[in-house]
Structure 1
Amino acid sequence: MNITTPDPAANMIEPRTGKKESRKLKELIELNDELENYFRNTIIPQLFVDADLILRKFTPPAMKQFNLAGCHIGRPMEELIDNIRYSTIIENISEVIKSGEIFEKEIQTTDLRWFQMNIIPYLIKRGNRTNGVIITFVDITDRMKVLRDLEKLNASHETFIYSVSHDLKAPLANIEGLVQHLNQVSGKLLENCAADNTEQRTVAAMLDKSVKSMRGIIEELAEIAKIEGNYKETVETVHFESILRQVEMTIKDNIIESKASIRYAVEEPSIEFSRKNLRSILYNLLSNAIKYKSPDRTPEIQIRTVKENGFVQVSVKDNGLGISEDKKDLIFTPFTRFEKDKEGTGIGLYLVKKIIENAGGEIIVHSTVGEGSEFIVYLKPKVTEVF
């Protein structure tokens, strides 16, 4: 009788493997419990759809929002379109499974509620393939209502500004006519008699100045309405030196009077942008550099253009009065003026900031009181549309 003696080592392998498998199984159960706990307690409607477009799981908020029940588990998503109340969800899921890319969209369901819908691919590490998707729905109905209210408010605001600027033009024209008539009468009186009408001419000059100031305000109000309404300007190739020469001609008297020195360093010669808007930006920055000059020195202004990280950077640097730290943000608010003895409406820099931000750019300012300021504008070149 042959007796085979058992191998002790062989007997030890099975128990070890059993413990290892038991530990893994326990970990999987714990992980599953954690996921189930998450599904039960999340406040976001979520759907879990496999690669065959079968609904495998959903969270309780989805049950409430989309009238889903346990009987819907295992059914094709095509049968549940009426529950989701969004007609192209099947096409969106299929595209995510095919591309492996996240799909995001603001959608409105048939019950007139708005959601931020995200369809996220569920990837299997082994083989790096998509085995389904996770769909989340974040209710943004209240946010959309606020946005609509803001749009209505902006529309009313624009209408008001247009109405005011339009309605003021007629009486302003009448005042201009009266000022011209007064000047003509003053001239005739001066011809017919030797009486000194200096006071009358002074009053007429003051009236003329006030009328011009009022017309400037009206034009700027109309400009605000256009810019705040994202008024679309024609985009073209604009050369900086050409625009700068035009601006110089416009403020030539101020340059001569102040004896300002202006230097250019145009490293980036042109930009695809609105000619009118670029001229407005440079006009305001350059005229301000002269207007707020130091009384102790001749204005020196340096203008530089350069390309940087996809933006065209325009810098206007001066040696003027400078701006204190607590006023740097306030200078971009409308109708703000810190130097009351300087002419202006306090709208210029506000318009500049609006133009730049509407075009996807940014403006920043570095300044030291008594030394000067530097305004740095980052402009995003526009793409010329072809029709």
Structure 2
Amino acid sequence: MIKGDFEINCELKSAFFKNAYSPFVILDRDMNFVDVNQASVDTIGIEKENFIGKNILDIFPYLEGTERYDAYKNVIDTGVPIGFDELLFKGEFTEVTFMSRAFKIGDYLGITTLDVTNVIDTVQKLKSTKTSLIEVNENLKKKNQELEDFSYVAAHDLRAPLTNLKSLLRMALESNISSNEVMPIVEKMNVVTKVMCDKITALNMVIAIKSNFGAPKIELGFSEVVSKLKASYSKEIIEGRTIIKEDYSGCSSINYNKVQLESVLQALMSNALKYRHPKRKLSIKIETKQVDGKVQLSFKDNGLGFDQEFSDKIFVLFKRLHTHVDGLGVALYIMKTIISENGGSIDVKSQVNKGTEFTVIF
């Protein structure tokens, strides 16, 4: 005898019901269990024969008088399905968090559930981790502020006595000290004191720049900023017989903090002028353009250059590769700090006696 479509469909539904991974139960109008699948038995830990014929309140007495119980009964009356999230079931040996969906099947009520215990646990862990990260971040901000405050106080407090010491040494040098033993010592003390004073000044510069990171940004023209720098360095530009070529056709302006942009370009200009090659005219080429939606600045010179192997070290505070000219090794450190703080990057390529090119992505 060939089975009809109806019988086949009934067998398929029955097989799906019995083998479903999630708990599935069917109740009558009086909320008595008519059938339960194996997943329900495994999850709740009650044998099937102890389910069938029992009222839902016999198995789950805590539902009596609850909105969920009334909602289940309302589904049978209206046929409108309803869902519940994050329901907690506590058995003798298990505790499960699940989602529930109730819907009408003919004259019966079908309830299917989904175990979301692991999902809820994961969410709670993520929330806990997020809270911990927020706390860690706040602590780091606090510690950074404390370090910044300490740096400021240290630099400020050391500056006054060093300045006084420097003045006393100058007075000593200007007096008629004739002792061959004392004079060399005083001269060395003067040199050391100058170095310390210069470094304290440099630290104050770094602190001042960092305290400006939250300042507003405005639209600035590259040509105007560079013109101001050329006026400031006119003496050095003339001495180096410097030729400066500028091309801002690709990007004439940028939205940036005024003090910070001037500091970046000043560091590049000062570096090129200080380390020019003594046997040729200094040539500087400045070019800006848009690359992938960001402003790119290229600053190229034909100066002394350096070994590419040391490209990372030039941005280290108080680090200098050339010592034949005065300097503290702080300008490039400040420049990189500003660029990084604003989400940009800087790359440098150099060759000994051929020159250096800085590429800044703002």
TM > 0.5 fold call = yes
Are 1:233 and 2:207 matched, yes or no? no
Are 1:56 and 2:46 matched, yes or no? no
Are 1:377 and 2:360 matched, yes or no? yes
CA separation of 1:31/1:151 partners in 2, compared to 1, >3 Å: closer, same or farther? same
Partner of 1:266: 248
In the TM superposition, what is the alpha-carbon distance from 1:181 to its structure 2 partner? 5.3
Partner of 2:62: none
Give yes or no for contact 1:238–1:272 (8 Å, CA) kept in 2.
yes
Q: Secondary structure at the match of 2:285?
A: strand
Are 1:281 and 2:271 matched, yes or no? no
In the TM superposition, what is the alpha-carbon distance from 1:369 to its structure 2 partner? 3.5
Give yes or no for contact 1:116–1:139 (8 Å, CA) kept in 2.
no
Provide, for residues 180-229 of structure 1, a one-character-per-residue CA deviation record: whole Å limited to 9, x for no partner. Answer: 7578769xxxxxxxxxxxxx9xx99x95x877765543232123234445
Q: Distance in 2 between matches of 1:136 and 1:166?
A: 44
CA separation of 1:12/1:283 partners in 2, compared to 1, >3 Å: closer, same or farther? same
In the TM superposition, what is the alpha-carbon distance from 1:158 to its structure 2 partner? 0.9
Q: Distance in 2 between matches of 1:320 and 1:59?
A: 74
Partner of 1:156: 146
Partner of 1:355: 338
Give yes or no for contact 1:239–1:270 (8 Å, CA) kept in 2.
yes
Q: Distance in 1 between matches of 2:122 and 2:299?
A: 42
Q: Distance in 1 between matches of 2:122 and 2:318?
A: 39
In the TM superposition, what is the alpha-carbon distance from 1:157 to its structure 2 partner? 1.9
Give yes or no for contact 2:88–2:95 (8 Å, CA) kept in 1.
no
Q: Distance in 2 between matches of 1:211 and 1:262?
A: 38
Are 1:171 and 2:161 matched, yes or no? yes
Alignment of 1:79-90 (within 5 A): none
Q: Distance in 1 between matches of 2:203 and 2:216?
A: 21
Are 1:224 and 2:253 matched, yes or no? no
Alignment of 1:113-192 (within 5 A): 137=127, 139-175=129-165, 177-178=167-168
Are 1:364 and 2:347 matched, yes or no? yes
In the TM superposition, what is the alpha-carbon distance from 1:283 to its structure 2 partner? 0.8
Find 2:284's aligned residue among 287, 297, 301: 301
Q: Secondary structure at the match of 1:278?
A: helix
Find 2:228's aligned residue among 241, 246, 257: 246
> Identity of aligned pairs, percent?
29
Residue identity in the other structure for 1:357: S
CA separation of 1:19/1:237 partners in 2, compared to 1, >3 Å: closer, same or farther? same
Give the count of matched residue pairs: 277
In the TM superposition, what is the alpha-carbon distance from 1:273 to its structure 2 partner? 1.7
Residue identity in the other structure for 1:240: F
CA separation of 1:25/1:282 partners in 2, compared to 1, >3 Å: closer, same or farther? same
Residue identity in the other structure for 2:338: I
Q: How does the TM-score come out when normalised to structure 1?
A: 0.56
Which structure: larger Rg? 2
Provide, for residues 159-189 of structure 1, a one-character-per-residue CA deviation record: whole Å limited to 9, x for no partner. Answer: 2211122113323443464477578769xxx
CA separation of 1:136/1:214 partners in 2, compared to 1, >3 Å: closer, same or farther? closer
Unmatched tracts of structure 2, length 5 or more: 24-38, 44-80, 102-120, 177-182
Q: Distance in 1 between matches of 2:206 and 2:214?
A: 13
CA separation of 1:264/1:74 partners in 2, compared to 1, >3 Å: closer, same or farther? same
In the TM superposition, what is the alpha-carbon distance from 1:31 to its structure 2 partner? 10
Q: How does the TM-score come out when normalised to structure 2?
A: 0.60
Q: Secondary structure at the match of 2:204?
A: helix
Residue identity in the other structure for 1:349: L
Superposed CA RMSD: 4.7
Alignment of 1:187-198 (within 5 A): none
CA separation of 1:306/1:233 partners in 2, compared to 1, >3 Å: closer, same or farther? same
Q: Distance in 2 between matches of 1:226 and 1:250?
A: 21
Q: Distance in 1 between matches of 2:226 and 2:314?
A: 23
Q: Distance in 1 between matches of 2:294 and 2:270?
A: 24
Residue identity in the other structure for 2:206: I
Give yes or no for contact 1:318–1:372 (8 Å, CA) kept in 2.
yes
Partner of 1:385: none
Q: Distance in 1 between matches of 2:344 and 2:263?
A: 15
Provide, for residues 72-105 of structure 1, a one-character-per-residue CA deviation record: whole Å limited to 9, x for no partner. Answer: 8559xxxxxxxxxxxxxxxxxxxxxxxxxxxxxx
CA separation of 1:71/1:269 partners in 2, compared to 1, >3 Å: closer, same or farther? closer
Residue identity in the other structure for 1:255: I
CA separation of 1:31/1:314 partners in 2, compared to 1, >3 Å: closer, same or farther? farther
Partner of 1:82: none
Give yes or no for contact 2:219–2:253 (8 Å, CA) kept in 1.
yes
Q: Secondary structure at the match of 1:222?
A: helix
CA separation of 1:253/1:72 partners in 2, compared to 1, >3 Å: closer, same or farther? same
CA separation of 1:235/1:141 partners in 2, compared to 1, >3 Å: closer, same or farther? closer
Q: Distance in 1 between matches of 2:320 and 2:198?
A: 16
CA separation of 1:312/1:12 partners in 2, compared to 1, >3 Å: closer, same or farther? same
Give yes or no for contact 2:221–2:253 (8 Å, CA) kept in 1.
yes
